[in-house]
Structure 1
Amino acid sequence: MPNIHIPDHAMADPLGYALTRHSPVIGRAAGEFVKSVYQSVRLPLRLAEAARYRIAQINGCLVCKGFRAADHLDGYLDAVGGDPTTSLVARGGERPDEAFYDAIDDWKTSPLLNDRERLAVDLAERMAFSPNELGYDEEFWAKMRAAFDDAEIADLTLAIGMWMAMGRFTHALGLDTVCLPTSAAA
């Protein structure tokens, strides 16, 4: 049940209703941020999905946990006026399977994740749980700079910030209990 008023006719897309009707200016900017991340992030699909899914777990967002970029992203972008031909999925890369998503629980030791994917999940956790320490952890940043270029680090950090914000907004307002992954800005 949503924690803000969503009329019955809008229950198929309560997030879209909340963004466009309850907060149209900020909601429009949030929607553009979501589209920008998914259309412009310069990372492999599996790497982005590793970080996104860990944030979904941390946020507790039900729709975000059910979202699979390889299956849902292009439909979402098409529905919100984005360009699926430029999406993270359209750029290719190995599609994560369900074993990959299950491995996120044991990301530190799972052989299903590579070193860069582990670092992406580590960054996601640090941003969610210990942002104050993160900026000063020279050892962690040395590992990041060895594995990623500056543009990739910036893209990944912005993407994680978007996933944190949108997933928390969706979950806190109870919008994740009624919308479907194909219509969500996960």
Structure 2
Amino acid sequence: MNRFSIQRHYPAMQPLVTLGQRIHEAGRLESALIELVLMRVSQINGCAFCLDMHSKDARAAGETEQRLYLLPAWRETTLYSERERIAFAWAEELTELPSHESVSDALYAKAREHFDEDALVDLTLLVVAINSWNRINIAARTIGGNYKPVARKAETATA
């Protein structure tokens, strides 16, 4: 049972929607990378609604089942590019923040090898946004399982 309606309060959440749209439209992060980061953060936070949404969006965009299934163990496979692996490490550290020393200088240096400053800011904002959505949906007790993917135009990016 939902505690409150996301739809009813959607106007208050519009800044988060707009942030996500701007990250997609900027084109500095590949659509596949975006969906995988959204999935990984939602796995860490245990947000069923977001996992349902982003797994379906990722599949609709052409992501493989194998990459989705192995995402929680991304360190133990070669299915992901170095750029994706750095993005996952960045997303995990920003999500978990075990200490004030999180997101180390070493990780930042690796990230800058694969992302220019603008793309890294976009990646950071993406992680901030999905953490917010996870917390909203968990607080609302939004039920996962009924999301229908929306067609998005293909986007590519390089950094």
* Same-fold status (TM-score > 0.5): yes
Counterpart residue number, 1:18:
9
C-alpha distance after superposition, 1:12-60 (max 9, x if no partner) = xx422232xxxx4x32323322332333352112222221111111121
Give the residue type in structure 2 aligned to 1:18.
H
Counterpart residue number, 2:57:
69
Contact 1:56-1:167 within 8 A present in 2 as well: yes
Higher Rg: 1
Q: CA deviation at 1:102?
A: 1.0
TM-score (norm 1): 0.69
Counterpart residue number, 1:144:
111
Contact 1:41-1:159 within 8 A present in 2 as well: no
Distance 2:46 2:27 in 1: 24
Give the residue type in structure 1 aligned to 2:65.
E
Counterpart residue number, 1:43:
29
2:127 aligned with 1:160 = yes
2:43 to 57, 62, 87: 57
How many equivalent pairs are there?
Answer: 147
Q: Pairwise CA RMSD of aligned residues?
A: 2.2
C-alpha change, 1:108 and 1:71, in structure 2 (3 Å) is closer
Distance 2:114 2:38 in 1: 18
| Structure 2 residues without counterparts, runs of 5 or longer | 151-159
Counterpart residue number, 1:84:
none
C-alpha distance after superposition, 1:139-170 (max 9, x if no partner) = 11111111211111011111111111012101
C-alpha change, 1:46 and 1:30, in structure 2 (3 Å) is closer
The percentage of counterpart residues that share the same residue type is 24
